[in-house]
């Protein structure tokens, strides 16, 4: 059995990446202060309490999943843009994409009596079609202690290169136990799943996931955080949730206005009052990057 690497809150992005490149997962302990955890819980709790449990065994009959956290919680926005975690996410994903995006925001509450979730790979959101790239960088932020008794996430370190039909044995599975305020970081390819909550208390964590800028998001951020809300966010967060071009000619739109009343081809940031002009698919920088990628992919390069 391979135990998870455990880092402290001072861990660098490089240390985080070193651990997940070896095992596919790592625990970074005590990243948030008790006050930060309490503030986050206070902001999300009304939505969590109003959320109905899952309707199948995978989502969990005694598990609630609450989304739209960028729109609902300023504290969650700070988690999404946490300097060290976001830096690690960019470094991990940018070999496959010039830009990354926020894929999912979700408070996962595992209630007493919930059985263990089937082990899976998060990358299966896109089926099994992306075996040649790593599409995700995932986090679960502990708002309560994560223990073996209350359903700490199960994970199989080192399983990132396994075939999709490989099933972990009991001896290969460990649990991401950690104190509240810690963050479990893992890839889209590592086998994992929610644990069995045998306690009398809820296990609450926030699942924040990043993915390649050219993939469809699991949580539709444009509907969860529409322009009337997104326009007041920090520009870095606006870009992360998708109000920017994913690449040249990827993500533009045409404002549905009367003839001549607006531009025909603009980047999505225009919907937030940023950018102007129109008539081109993306910036010169994005076009140059695409051309460079194409040149570099030629057999004689």
Structure tokens at 91: 């470094």
Q: Identify whether residues 65 and 204 lie together within a single domain.
A: yes
Ranges of beta strands (E only) in 46-196 are: 63-66, 100-110, 136-142, 154-155, 174-175, 183-187, 192-193
Structural domain containing residue 189: 6-221
Q: Identify whether residues 144 and 34 lie together within a single domain.
A: yes
Element (H, E) at 205: strand 203-212
Alpha carbons 293 and 85: distance in angstroms, whole number: 27
Q: Is residue 237 part of a domain?
A: no
Q: For residue 134, give the CATH number of its domain.
A: 2.60.120.620
Per DSSP, 239 falls in state H
Q: Identify whether residues 198 and 267 lie together within a single domain.
A: no
Alpha carbons 223 and 277: distance in angstroms, whole number: 25
Q: Is residue 228 part of a domain?
A: no
pTM of the predicted model as reported, rounded to 2 decimal places: 0.92
Query: Closest Cα partner for 96 from 1, 211, 177?
Result: 211
pLDDT digits (tens, 9 = 90+) for 205-232: 999 999 999 999 999 999 999 999 999 9
**Could you tell me the pLDDT band of residue 177, with boundaries at 50, 70 and 90?**
very high
Q: Identify whether residues 162 and 257 lie together within a single domain.
A: no
Q: Identify whether residues 275 and 194 lie together within a single domain.
A: no
Residue 301 reports pLDDT greater than 50: no
Q: Identify whether residues 279 and 183 lie together within a single domain.
A: no
Q: Identify whether residues 18 and 77 lie together within a single domain.
A: yes
Percent of the chain topping pLDDT 70: 96
Q: What sign does the dihedral 236-227-188-115 (CA atoms) show?
A: positive
Q: Are 282 and 250 in contact (CB under 8 A)?
A: yes
Among 25-29, 98-102, 262-266, which stretch is predicted with the lowest mean pLDDT?
Answer: 262-266
Between the alpha carbon of residue 5 and those of residues 15, 149, 181, the distances in Å are: 10, 20, 17
Ranges of beta strands (E only) in 100-202 are: 100-110, 136-142, 154-155, 174-175, 183-187, 192-193
**Could you tell me the pLDDT band of residue 280, with boundaries at 50, 70 and 90?**
low
Residue 182 reports pLDDT greater than 60: yes
Mean pLDDT of all residues in 249-265:
87
Q: Is 106 helix (H, G, I), strand (E, B) or coil?
A: strand
Q: Higher-confidence residue: 114 or 129?
A: 114
pLDDT digits (tens, 9 = 90+) for 64-104: 999 999 999 999 999 999 999 999 999 999 999 989 999 99
- Tally of domains within the chain: 2
Percent of the chain topping pLDDT 90: 80
Q: Identify whether residues 43 and 186 lie together within a single domain.
A: yes
Quick one: pLDDT at residue 249? 83
Q: Is residue 269 part of a domain?
A: yes
């Amino acid at each position: 059995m391979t135990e998870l690497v455990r880092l402290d809150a001072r861990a660098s992005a490089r240390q985080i990446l070193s651990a997940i490149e070896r095992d596919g997962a790592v625990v970074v302990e005590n990243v948030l202060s008790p006050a930060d955890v309490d503030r986050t819980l206070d902001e999300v709790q009304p939505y969590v309490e109003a959320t109905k449990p899952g309707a199948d065994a995978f989502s969990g009959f005694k598990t609630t999943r609450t989304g739209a956290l960028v729109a609902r919680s300023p504290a969650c926005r700070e988690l999404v843009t946490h300097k060290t975690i976001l830096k690690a996410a960019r470094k991990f994903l940018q070999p496959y994409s010039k830009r990354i995006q926020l894929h999912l925001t979700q408070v996962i509450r595992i209630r007493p009596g919930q059985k263990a979730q089937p082990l899976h790979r998060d990358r299966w959101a896109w089926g099994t079609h992306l075996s040649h790239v790593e599409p995700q960088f995932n986090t679960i932020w502990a708002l309560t202690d994560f223990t073996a008794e209350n359903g700490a996430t199960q994970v199989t370190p080192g399983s990132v290169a396994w075939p999709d039909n490989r099933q972990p044995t009991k001896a290969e599975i460990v649990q991401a136990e950690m104190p509240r305020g810690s963050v479990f970081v893992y890839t889209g390819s590592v086998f994992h799943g929610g644990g069995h909550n045998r306690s009398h208390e809820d296990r609450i964590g926030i699942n924040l996931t990043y993915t390649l800028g050219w993939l469809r998001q699991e949580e539709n951020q444009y509907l969860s955080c529409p322009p009337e809300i997104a326009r007041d966010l920090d520009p870095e967060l606006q870009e992360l949730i998708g109000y920017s071009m994913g690449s040249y000619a990827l993500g533009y739109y045409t404002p549905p206005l009367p003839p001549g009343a607006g531009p025909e081809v603009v980047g999505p940031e225009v919907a937030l009052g940023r950018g102007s002009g129109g008539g081109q698919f993306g910036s010169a920088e994005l076009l140059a990057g695409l051309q460079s990628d194409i040149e570099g992919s030629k057999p004689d390069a």
